[in-house]
Structure 1
Amino acid sequence: MSLAGETTHQARTVPFLRPLARHARIPIRAFEEASDRSGGELVRLNMGPFRPYLVTHPDHVQHVLKTNQPNYVRAGMFWDPLAPLIGQGILGDGAGWAASRKILQPLFTARYVDSLTERMAEIINELIDTKLGPGRTVDVGMVISALIHPAIVRLFLGATISDADIERLAPAYDTGVTARSIRLLLPFVPQRIPLPGDRAFKQAIKTIDDVVYPRIRHARSRGDETADLVSRLVGVRGDEPDADRLIRDDMVAIHGAATETSVTALSWVWPVLDAHPEIAAKVYEEVERVVGNGPVTVAHLPRLTYLRMFVDELVRLYPPGWILPRTALRTDAIGGVEIAAGSTVVMSPYLTHRLSAFWDRPLMFAPERFSPENERARHRYAYFPYAAGPHVCLGPRLFMMEALLLIAGILCRYRPVLQTSRPIAPRLASTLRPGTELSMTLVPARHA
């Protein structure tokens, strides 16, 4: 985009390293301080030798994600640490991303997702019955993972994958998205210099590849293009150059998007219910009225209207993909600020969703924000938990179905009693997880 005739100015630089040191235990607080200082303006974060632009205003987010989207690519220092995990497919950019999206988009239409929902409900209900029990105290992250991972793997990767391989995949993905979180804060450190977490990250990649590549070879030898997602990808990719690697990248991306982001988001359900008993009461009342003693079915979902608003508000305050970095290919201007070619811009749904200029009492958890009348009055880019523009997430409908089935499936049987006395704050990783290991005891709903 040409800057000819445009009047531009330099962005203010706000401190970041000192706040980061001050909030070493909860690093995301440093981002919150920078956002407060910016007041919605474009600013630069002083990270020593690296000074990315922080983009929070919805108009500016729209410019990067839609208006001039081709100029802002998913590449650079923030992306490089995760490249061995996410590869060159749907989570990449350019021609590889475009080809993958064309292949995968038909698998995430409303019609196709709805066709999966009944089977998803059966799987989730079966897993709840086998993995949960009354009076047991469970680790929140582990139990949500134990419900989500097998459900998604069985839906998309085929029923022939073994339980042992499913149990290997879940912790490998967990390590893959968390082990290199320190590189998010130190993106200027060269890859050749080892940092804590690098070795665990490499082992996680090896575990994932050891599970995924045999599935691709099995699907290729079987030759059935309709059996599962792997077979569909094999059928489309055929024998094109590096086909197995491209299929692997898309499988990893889909599995990660459908599991890691869901586990992250749904781990916040229980501390939020615990912190807001009046909201919890409304959720419980709706689940009791609509689902009764369960199990939850597809027919119940349209009537879980308050629970749907609860989930929308959940990912407003705790969006799993909390940071969206991009690299500018050519010099551009955003909000009157010149952005030099090669610069890094960082968007954050977590921060934009907390701007008081666009959200009334933004730190308050209020599901009613997402009633139909309130949604219509909102700036389109004030809320983007699933990204936006051409790179918008393929699976928000799948996530919502998954969330409703899992939350209602648990709550029609149990009431959660959280086992913690400390406030729950996010911890820094590539997804926004609770910063404390959470456990809860499940009490039968009829005795709550």
Structure 2
Amino acid sequence: MPLRRILPGLLRDPARALVECGERSRGEVVRLNLGSFRPFLVTHPEHLQRVLRERSDNYVRAGDGLQWRPLKRLFGEGILSDGRHWTDSRHILQPLFTARRIDSLVDTLAEVIAGAVAELDASARSGSPVDMGVEQARIVCRAIMQVFFADKISVPDAMRIMEAQDVIAWSVMPRIAVPWAPLAVPMPGDRSFRRAVQTIDDLLLPIVRASRETAEADGDDVIATLWRGRTPDGRRLDEWQVRNDTVAMVATTTETTISVLTWLWPHLEAAPQVAAQLNEEIDRVIGDGPIRGAHLKELRYTRQVLDELLRLYPIGWLFPRLAVEEDVVGGVRIPAGSTIVVSPLITHRMSMFWDRPEVFDPDRFAPERVRGRHRYAHFPFGGGPHQCLGMHLFYLEALLIVATVLRRYRFRLRRPELPGIKVAAALRPRQRVEVTLEPALGGTN
């Protein structure tokens, strides 16, 4: 695909231009001409399965890759890298994120989330507008910092970290757009990036260092687990890898839920039939009492709504990979050293794989329709060995937040339109999502 067909759209509306690249590819492996940088775009589910699962050892996260190189200055070597550091960190952290352990925490999460959501009562009584992005960040931080970090990170500090992460998401875009530029060459956003990383280190490093002395006596919060953990060959992590994994875990346990749920409210406003079905299920399943873990498996339509949000707005919207050895994907030779671009944003919106892909339709995730769909047509959390550790946590936490908010309130958007997509390190709405709330009948439990 020549530069003249790609560049104008990327400058005008990057999200739409990327999806159009996928549409023009018709599922074939194509090479994008971005000047001196020419990655292969892989969009077909069968080809994605080869790259992400069957030959995952050959397609690695490159330290100097398209998206990872600028972000590596924040996350360093650890759970979000590759090779030995990734293996060591995942070996230590995975027990914290098994389905069984997360399920055991659901009732505690539900209580914390209910308390955080109840703080919106004053706004609901006064009719004051509420920024759902900000409020969801507060709710998520309250739950995650208590349950996974044992309140070692305060909610105000966690909110400052969220703000710094948001700055980072925007400031790295010039380097993602110009991936061949050396890090030594100054670019717009570099100064903001450095300040935001310093803010995160100023907040987290003292906590990480203090936790080293108490780790043996502490419980199984993330930081203590990192200090106590042993790698497969029996080593302990050094301070910087504990720091890197703490930063990564704060980001990954909060960012997905906050970002994805921000899109929910405009879509419910635009699709009242979906909102009615969602409210009916939540009221019927939860009844008059508090929400508990036992309710969640019955919130089937709510889960479909979340899957549809993840289809349209996958938080990990771009997964670059580096080919270690030569390979053939979809009949196309991939030379060693080539960059492969995999994008859930593109595949999830291609008409070749989805009927009316631009329409918000949770029914496309009804069980009978999912069974007939390729596993890699919908992969918002990646796939293969690098599939996100926090996937199960996202679904439980998001179900709890959606059910708690809609049991307690009804809402109206101040600006009843779908915000456009701003492409950053994570997808963001172009406008703030502000709502007015009012108490729902019987929804104060």
TM-score tier (shorter): over 0.9
Task: Identify the residue that residue 218 of structure 1 maps to in structure 2.
Answer: 210
Distance in 2 (alpha carbons) for counterparts of 1:104 and 1:85 = 19
One-letter code of the match for 1:410? V
| 1:91 corresponds to 2:80 | yes
| 1:81 corresponds to 2:76 | no
| 1:59 corresponds to 2:52 | no
SS state of the match for residue 303, structure 1?
coil
Choose 162-171 or 198-207, whichever is displaced more: 162-171
Distance in 1 (alpha carbons) for counterparts of 2:120 and 2:225 = 31
User: Pick from 97, 106, 113: which aligns with 2:95?
Assistant: 106
Would you say the 8 A contact 2:10–2:18 is kept in 1?
A: no
Which digits, 9 at most, give the CA deviation of each residue in 1:64-92, with x for residues without a partner?
10111111111133211000112111110
| 1:352 corresponds to 2:329 | no
Query: Given the superposition, is the C-alpha separation of residues 341 and 115 from structure 1 closer, same or farther in structure 2, using an over 3 Å criterion?
Result: same
Would you say the 8 A contact 1:56–1:352 is kept in 2?
A: yes
| 1:323 corresponds to 2:318 | yes
Distance in 2 (alpha carbons) for counterparts of 1:283 and 1:162 = 33
Which digits, 9 at most, give the CA deviation of each residue in 1:158-178, with x for residues without a partner?
124334422322212222233
Choose 295-304 or 194-203, whichever is displaced more: 295-304
Distance in 2 (alpha carbons) for counterparts of 1:421 and 1:270 = 10
Choose 406-415 or 133-142, whichever is displaced more: 133-142
Residue 361 of structure 1, CA deviation: 2.4
| 1:183 corresponds to 2:169 | no
User: Pick from 378, 383, 407: which aligns with 2:373?
Assistant: 378
Alignment of 1:4-403 (within 5 A): 14-16=1-3, 19-22=6-9, 24-75=11-62, 76-78=64-66, 79-131=68-120, 133-134=123-124, 135-222=127-214, 223-237=216-230, 243-292=238-287, 295-403=290-398
Would you say the 8 A contact 2:312–2:345 is kept in 1?
A: yes
5+ residue gaps in structure 2?
none
TM-score normalised per structure 1: 0.92
One-letter code of the match for 2:256? T
5+ residue gaps in structure 1?
1-13
RMSD after superposition: 2.1
Distance in 2 (alpha carbons) for counterparts of 1:131 and 1:183 = 39
Which digits, 9 at most, give the CA deviation of each residue in 1:276-312, with x for residues without a partner?
1111110111122222456422232122111011111
Residue 447 of structure 1, CA deviation: 10
Would you say the 8 A contact 1:312–1:370 is kept in 2?
A: yes
Would you say the 8 A contact 2:230–2:237 is kept in 1?
A: no
One-letter code of the match for 2:207? R
Choose 57-66 or 352-361, whichever is displaced more: 352-361
Choose 408-417 or 191-200, whichever is displaced more: 191-200
Task: Identify the residue that residue 429 of structure 1 maps to in structure 2.
Answer: 424
Identity between Structure 1 and Structure 2 (%): 45
